Structure 1
Amino acid sequence: MNAVSSPASAPASGISHTDALPPGTRLAEFEILGLLGVGGFGMVYKAFDHSLHRAVAIKEYMPSALAGRSEGQSLWVRSSSDQQTFRAGLASFVGEARLLAQFDHPSLVKVFRFWEANNTAYMVMPLYTGMTFKQARAQMRTPPSEAWLRKLLWSILGALRVLHEGKTLHRDISPDNIFLQDNGPPVLLDLGAARHAINDQDRKHTAVLKVNYAPIEQYSDGDEELRQGPWSDLYSLAAVMHGCLCNDTPLPATLRSIRDRMVSFSRVARTVKRQFGVEYSAPFVAAIAKSLALRP
């Protein structure tokens, strides 16, 4: 039996969590093989599809701060006061799956199947192989070339255009949410729908936003002068570029709004050229700098 048709052949990820579904758990036609990742609002598993004989990824809604695993597969909410917040996050998780199913772009996650059960919900997606942008940058000795970054940005901006034309914002772009496939274009992960629904319920902005990449308008509570829009995603993507060249996280927008001490992107580009001999064109630098403006 070859590796494609045998779930037992899949290696374990080495990640564990007390509330994770154990290997061998069956969810409909899918068999859990291991835990791939854990976030504050969900868990991602490697699984085997016994119907189509292929490996897939399954994302489960699991806000660990609000819920735990009872015996079996069902979730329970830790406190009655958290029920509304849990339900809001679940509804947005469902909404994220339905949104992704509507969009078709190589750099957006595809949703093969989705269902609700066990007081939670599951999203079946392709099993991508590769690493995150953050992991890739950590392995680089020097900042990447403009050509490399342009190729990445071309794919991600194409995905954002599809989202924005569909009246949808990503709102969670960061180096962790850009996945570089071994074979294929980069993929934009995690729309952050459940994250922001829970944020809206709790109003704990700093606990759920990627503070170094979120634009200032994501901290506002409906202020008309700080409306979110496509420019919000562009700010986050530009912040990723700034951090990439600096090899450090950019200054949070909240601190910049008080006194902007962040080194300008043009100065960063000049420093990279001087130290590493990597040069960036004036139009490229200007585009990133404009997207990093606090007020678009």
Structure 2
Amino acid sequence: MSKTKPAPLPPDTLIGGYRIVRLLASGGFGLVYLALDPAGLKVALKEYLPAALVLRAAGELLPVVPPEKLSLYRLGLKSFFEEGRALAQISHPSVVGVQNFFRENETVYMVMDLLEGASLQEFIVTARALKRKKILREATIRSLFDELLRGLRIVHQHKMLHLDIKPANVFITDANKAVLIDFGAAREVLSNEGNFVRPMYTPGFAAPEMYQRGAQLGPWTDLYAVGACLYSCMQGYPPHDAPQRLEKDRLPLAMSRLRGLYSDSLIEVVQWCMAMSPTARPQSVFELQKELQREPVPTFTPPSLADKLRQQVGRIWPGSAKLPVTPSGRSSFYPKS
């Protein structure tokens, strides 16, 4: 594994007709830039660039892939390209919009709608600072996940899985929409085929079968992560990861402490989604939607989801109508111990 992260493309670089403005985010599998399309409109441009497999010096355009890693790099690249092609066929307000995807500089680029707002992770971290018993209110949680599941259901209908659902990948826009971002198909391919020291997915949100090479993944895999997100909205922290739960499952005790704060039905939904056995979980988004809708689900009439979240956390910053964006990353969300 390379010790130095590949350098981002410099500002004003022209890629496929898109001009780089600046780097927005970097991760283990790629970089996301603010860019301008040929008409001068702002877009998010995602570059496939797995840090474990490539090098790129500052000012260079082409990634350098060691020969022994080339086949794995190409496998992930193919998956990333196919993911872009599949996402471009989906049009839903709760799924990030892909406008274009193309090959250039021996890698693949995905052009996505630029979203303004903050991630669910940032809302949870900020709400946790209030030190209330409830991190987010149940009505807010139900409203959020009702919308997200509508989008996830469309994704599954297109024979796709997200494979990296977590609060950092749920974006609450300034236009008051909850949007799934940063799909993980390429990540899963590399995790399954590569021989990496560390898992290439997010502990706490990855279902047990994702730790097993060759295990069958399906809608139930994404729904485990949905349950973990629900848990995080209620507890303020992620659940223990699947290997820890196999040794000693603390989920029942953690959920029992929430009784009286949240309805029994919501607590049971979390435990159902996070069952260790895939067959013990909901097998489809529709099945989970039916269960969540046994309780009335608020519609998106004013105050909106984003407004509700900001009302809950906005008191920390008097006079500010918007949630300040804190640096994203596991360090701000995961407890130190």
Taking structure 1 as the reference length, the TM-score comes to 0.85
Cα deviation per residue 1:250-292 (whole Å; 9 max; x = unaligned)? Answer: 111112122212344641422xx5xxxxx42222222222111
Distance in 2 (alpha carbons) for counterparts of 1:208 and 1:233: 16
Alignment of 1:146-165 (within 5 A): 146-165=138-157
Give the structure 2 partner of residue 28 of structure 1: 16
Paired letter, 1:267: S
Distance in 1 (alpha carbons) for counterparts of 2:8 and 2:123: 27
Shift of 1:247: 1.6
Query: Does the C-alpha gap of structure 1 residues 97 and 220 become closer, same or farther in structure 2, counting only changes over 3 Å?
Result: same
Structure 1 residue matching 2:70: 3-state secondary structure: helix
Cα deviation per residue 1:40-59 (whole Å; 9 max; x = unaligned)? Answer: 0100000112x323111100
Give the structure 1 partner of residue 40 of structure 2: 53
Cα deviation per residue 1:61-95 (whole Å; 9 max; x = unaligned)? Answer: 11122112256411120x21000111011111101
What is the root-mean-square deviation of aligned Cα atoms in Å? 1.8
Paired letter, 1:150: R
Distance in 2 (alpha carbons) for counterparts of 1:103 and 1:133: 22
Structure 2 residue matching 1:269: 3-state secondary structure: coil
Query: Does the C-alpha gap of structure 1 residues 28 and 167 become closer, same or farther in structure 2, counting only changes over 3 Å?
Result: closer
Distance in 1 (alpha carbons) for counterparts of 2:85 and 2:180: 16
Give the structure 1 partner of residue 275 of structure 2: 293
Give the structure 2 partner of residue 166 of structure 1: 158
Distance in 1 (alpha carbons) for counterparts of 2:53 and 2:181: 23
Distance in 2 (alpha carbons) for counterparts of 1:18 and 1:64: 6
Paired letter, 1:183: A
Distance in 2 (alpha carbons) for counterparts of 1:241 and 1:119: 39
- Indicate the structure whose relative CO is greater, using CA pairs within 8 Å and at least 6 residues apart: 2
Alignment of 1:168-187 (within 5 A): 168-187=160-179
Cα deviation per residue 1:184-218 (whole Å; 9 max; x = unaligned)? Answer: 31111111111111112214384202121111111
Distance in 1 (alpha carbons) for counterparts of 2:197 and 2:251: 21
Q: Does 1:193 align with 2:185?
A: yes
Q: Does 1:255 align with 2:235?
A: no
Structure 1 residue matching 2:21: 3-state secondary structure: strand
More off after superposition, 231-240 vs 62-71: 62-71
Structure 2: 5+ residue stretches without partners: 281-337
Alignment of 1:224-243 (within 5 A): 227-243=216-232
1:82 to 69, 72, 78: 69
Equivalent pair of 1:114/1:121 in contact (CA under 8 Å): yes
Count of paired positions: 268
Equivalent pair of 1:235/1:292 in contact (CA under 8 Å): yes
Distance in 2 (alpha carbons) for counterparts of 1:221 and 1:213: 17
Paired letter, 2:187: R
Structure 1 residue matching 2:251: 3-state secondary structure: coil
Sequence identity (%): 35
Equivalent pair of 2:192/2:214 in contact (CA under 8 Å): no
Distance in 1 (alpha carbons) for counterparts of 2:160 and 2:54: 28
Distance in 2 (alpha carbons) for counterparts of 1:172 and 1:205: 19
Structure 1: 5+ residue stretches without partners: 1-16, 274-278
Structure 1 residue matching 2:221: 3-state secondary structure: helix
More off after superposition, 136-145 vs 64-73: 64-73
Structure 2 residue matching 1:75: 3-state secondary structure: coil
Shift of 1:221: 2.4
Taking structure 2 as the reference length, the TM-score comes to 0.75
